[in-house]
């Protein structure tokens, strides 16, 4: 309604609301801009490069040679060179200052000896693989059937127990089985487990004790018996970076690679068991 004085109002029941001007528009609250959190991009993994010398137990020869192509394909600026031998001989080489970036032993004894002399990067050391010890004979041999007839052999071969882990395990097994005293004069000692395998393959001995993985790669020998695991020290392969390496990043990269899915497939192919 319009009043006499020209004011405008609205009647609601008995109440009169009088306004003298249009209502001021309600201003919207100022918008508040929340500052965006800064996202820091994660730097890509640092590429490694250079040359690495891998001192590895002789029983790893075939697996490592296959591993070489896979690792170098993933790390195209790294070149691997392998130095295979008995774990004891490799230990002595490292102690004497021979170049080595990574050490992979067929026993914890040699790795522990290098750790005690502060020649290993302790935090890089890991137990990597397990293996089994077997008695083998020439493919066509029928004279020795297993441990029960081993005394009938004229010559048998094992690795040198003081420097070859497989030889140490073999002596432990034969001693545990009560066979060592009867056989020790028939033993032909070898510088590493691959030489034992070669002696058996050539027929120069009638039996030998090697790792299961070695027996599997030869078509010239047969497995006569598998040693019970409670007859010898556990067969464990540790790997670690050598403290004297000139390329610690690449060396650690290779040790890490040995636990990758690609590496595990290769190890399984050659009969190694993985340490969980």
Task: Name every residue whose Cβ is closer than 8 Å to that of residue 68 and which is 6 or more positions away in sequence.
Answer: 80, 82
Residue 141, marked binder: no
243 shares a domain with 221: no
Residue 202, marked binder: no
185 shares a domain with 270: no
- Number of domain units in the chain: 2
Q: Specify the pairing of strand 78-85 against strand 50-57.
A: parallel
- In this prediction, residue 46 carries a pLDDT of 60
186 shares a domain with 99: no
Total-model pTM = 0.80
The rounded Cα 274 to chain-centroid distance in angstroms is 8
79 shares a domain with 196: no
Could you give the CA distance from residue 146 to residue 131 in angstroms, rounded to a whole number? 19
67 shares a domain with 189: no
- In this prediction, residue 232 carries a pLDDT of 98
- In this prediction, residue 22 carries a pLDDT of 42
- In this prediction, residue 143 carries a pLDDT of 85
pLDDT in tens, the chain (276 residues): 444 444 444 333 333 333 334 444 444 444 444 444 444 443 444 677 899 999 999 999 999 999 999 999 999 999 999 999 999 999 999 999 999 999 999 999 999 999 999 999 999 999 999 999 999 999 987 789 999 999 999 999 999 999 999 999 999 999 999 999 999 999 999 999 999 999 999 999 999 999 999 999 999 999 999 999 999 999 999 999 999 999 999 999 999 999 999 999 999 999 999 997
124 shares a domain with 113: yes
Residue 273, marked binder: no
253 shares a domain with 118: yes
Between 87-95 and 108-116, two packed helices, what is the crossing angle to 10 degrees? 10
203 shares a domain with 170: yes
178 shares a domain with 227: yes
- Is residue 121 included in any domain, yes or no? yes
- In this prediction, residue 49 carries a pLDDT of 81
Q: Which of 41, 46, 81 is nearest to 64 (CA)?
A: 81
Q: What is the CATH number of the domain that holds 245?
A: 3.40.190.10
- Is residue 196 included in any domain, yes or no? yes
- Is residue 1 included in any domain, yes or no? no
227 shares a domain with 252: no
Residue 59, marked binder: yes
216 shares a domain with 94: no
- Is residue 44 included in any domain, yes or no? no
Residue 49, marked binder: no
- Is residue 190 included in any domain, yes or no? yes
91 shares a domain with 163: no
Structural domain boundaries, residue 59:
50-130+237-274
Give the number of other CB atoms < 10 A from CB of residue 113: 18
> Is 246 buried (19+), middle (13-18) or exposed (0-12) by CB count in 10 A?
exposed
């Amino acid at each position: 309604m319009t009043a006499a004085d020209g004011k405008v109002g609205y009647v609601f029941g008995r109440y009169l609301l009088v306004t003298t001007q249009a209502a001021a528009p309600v201003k919207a609250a100022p918008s508040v801009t929340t500052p965006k959190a800064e996202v820091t991009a994660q730097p890509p993994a640092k590429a490694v490069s250079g040359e690495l010398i891998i001192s590895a137990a002789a029983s790893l020869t075939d697996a490592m040679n296959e591993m070489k192509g896979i690792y170098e394909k993933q790390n195209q600026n790294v070149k691997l060179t392998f130095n295979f031998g008995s774990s004891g001989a490799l230990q002595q080489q490292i102690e004497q200052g021979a170049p080595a970036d990574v050490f992979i032993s067929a026993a914890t004894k040699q790795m522990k000896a290098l750790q005690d002399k502060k020649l290993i990067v302790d935090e890089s050391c890991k137990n990597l693989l397990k293996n089994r010890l077997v008695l083998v004979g020439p493919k066509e041999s029928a004279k020795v059937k297993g441990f029960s007839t081993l005394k009938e052999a004229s010559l048998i071969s094992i690795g040198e127990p003081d420097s070859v882990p497989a030889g140490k395990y073999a002596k432990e097994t034969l001693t545990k089985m009560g066979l060592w005293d009867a056989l020790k004069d028939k033993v032909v000692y070898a510088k590493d487990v691959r030489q034992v395998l070669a002696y058996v393959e050539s027929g120069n001995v009638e039996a030998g004790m090697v790792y299961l993985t070695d027996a599997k790669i030869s078509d010239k020998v047969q497995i006569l018996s598998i040693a019970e695991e409670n007859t010898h020290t556990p067969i464990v392969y540790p790997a670690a970076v050598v403290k004297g390496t000139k390329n610690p990043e690449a060396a650690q990269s290779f040790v890490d690679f040995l636990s990758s899915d690609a590496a595990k497939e290769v190890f399984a192919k050659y009969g190694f068991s993985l340490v969980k």
